[in-house]
Amino acid sequence: MLSYDVLILGAGPAGCSAAYDLARAGKRVLMLDKRMFPRHKACACGLTRKTLKALRYSVEPVVERVCHEIVLRHIASHTAQRVLVRTRDPICAMAVRERFDAFCLQQTLAAGAELCKVEGIVALREETDRIEVDIATAAGIETLEAPVVIGADGSNGQSRRLAEGLRTGKEVRAAALPAEPQWYARGFALETTVPYAMLPIALPGGDTPQDLVFDFAPLPGGYGWLFPKGDHVNIGVGAFAPTPTGDACLKSVTRALLTEYTEANLGITTLPNITGQYLGMGGQAYVPHGRVLLAGDAAGLVDPLTGEGIYSAIVSGQAAAAAILACDATDLTEEYARRLQPLQKTLAFSRRAAQAFYAHPERGFRVMRTPLLRSLVLKTYSDGLPPTKLLGILSKIFA
Ligand SMILES: Cc1cc2nc3c(=O)[nH]c(=O)nc-3n(C[C@H](O)[C@H](O)[C@H](O)COP(=O)(O)OP(=O)(O)OC[C@H]3O[C@@H](n4cnc5c(N)ncnc54)[C@H](O)[C@@H]3O)c2cc1C
């Protein structure tokens, strides 16, 4: 049986950021991923300032565009509001997810972490001092062991439900996964890419192909977006705000809606490459348990106001690594819970803000007419939550 210091399920932003810090600290780390890299992942890959700051290395080689302006729109039959927000510092960097992830993985492997392609996880067994992980590979079933496992396999992965199974038993098998934990909720988003070469000179939506657009009219509890990349526009629709069931309004995100939205904004009707994925949410209520620490979408850490998840994935992966490096397994979960708390507080605020904002987006737009509040909202998106005093102002805005 092969032994590691840490096993990590998933080599996306959460898995890589955990593996990077652990490997740099001299730990023997193995990441297990069911996909070969580079691989496609549905994601508009907008990287806010706080995301770029959280990363341990520059991702400049894969940044395709840096945006200093955002167009915020709410154009419905009864209302037409458009706010252009311009800043001296860049608001958001644009990358293509396939290349961004491959680049981060390359840095992580160079730091000393290892990667193994798996078909999936077959079972987890919790022993007194370690976890045994049965994996399915092309060569058959193998067993690996480590004192701690990080579940970073995204919204559709197995680790969240496997970890849930270990709350009540010593072994959990993928063939009999327990239900999703109660705190977990889902958003959903669909996207496509349209090369600039295919676009008409004047766009029917009124923006230029290089504008970074958030559009709050097309669907309830979410937005449509246009993210300009090097040679194409990434256009999509997503639902993020929680409804009374916990999940966002998933049924509103359809291929028909994306097609209609793309036609209205880019004048294109045939979309060859629509892809989509659930976004993991509800993580403000996640309480770590045992020897499996969840990070990123697996832990439901996507921001329900903005749909942003790469930042949380990086920060939670790093928090898991820091907890492992700071203590032995006995108080590992408390340590991880403590380190995750600031992010969870932010997400709890975002959840309330999302419920208030998406119930009446036009009110949010009224707020944005005041330059001071506009820059505050923008700064929050790009840099994260401001100090407590400003947070008080934001809470009043969204109340
Ligand atoms: C359409 C769309 C647009 C988005 N746009 C943005 C954006 O612009 N900015 C932003 O910040 N966020 C965006 N997000 C959210 C963002 O994509 C996620 O929050 C982020 O990818 C989470 O990272 P992660 O490492 O937790 O999971 P992932 O990136 O999903 O990585 C999980 C990894 O685990 C692997 N895996 C899955 N199952 C298994 C298994 N059983 N065994 C082993 N490996 C497994 C996968 O192959 C993958 O490599 C968007 C999401 C969607 C769906």
In terms of pLDDT, which residue wins out, 208 or 198?
198
- Check pLDDT > 80 for residue 6: yes
Distance 42 CA to ligand 1 centre (A): 8
Provide the pLDDT for residue 294.
Answer: 98
Q: Measuring from atom 15 of ligand 1, which residue has the nearest CA?
A: 309
Q: Alpha-carbon distance 174 to 339, whole Å?
A: 29
Q: Is the pLDDT of residue 387 over 60?
A: no
* Substitution site in 32, 39, 41 for ligand 1 pocket (most atoms within 8 Å of beta carbon): 41
Ligand 1, residue 311: give the atom nearest the CA.
11
Q: What is the pLDDT of residue 389?
A: 56
Q: What is the whole-number distance in angstroms between the Cα of residue 297 and the centre of ligand 1?
A: 7
Q: For the residues 152-174, what does the mean pLDDT come to?
A: 96
Residues 354-363, mean pLDDT to the nearest whole number: 88
Using CB distances shorter than 6 Å, the residues near ligand 1 are: 9-15, 32-35, 41-46, 118, 120-121, 152-154, 156-158, 189, 191, 236, 238, 276-277, 279, 296-298, 302, 307-311, 313
pLDDT of residue 330: 67
pLDDT at res. 393: 65
Report pLDDT digits (tens) over 289-345: 999 999 999 999 999 999 999 999 999 999 999 999 998 656 999 999 999 999 999
Average model confidence (pLDDT) across the chain: 92
Label residue 348 by pLDDT band (50, 70, 90). Answer: very high
Angle in degrees, CA 336, 283, 316, rounded to 5: 40
pLDDT digits (tens, 9 = 90+) for 211-246: 899 999 999 999 999 999 999 999 999 999 999 999
Q: Which of 93-102, 176-185, 230-239, 368-377 has the lowest mean pLDDT?
A: 368-377
Tell me the per-residue pLDDT of 132-142, one tens digit each, with 9 for 90 and over. Answer: 999 999 999 99
pLDDT at 392: 66
The alpha carbon of 36 and the centre of ligand 1 are apart by a number of angstroms equal to: 14
CATH code given to domain 2-398: 3.50.50.60
Tens-digit pLDDT profile for residues 109-130: 999 999 999 999 999 999 999 9
Q: Is the pLDDT of residue 376 over 80?
A: no
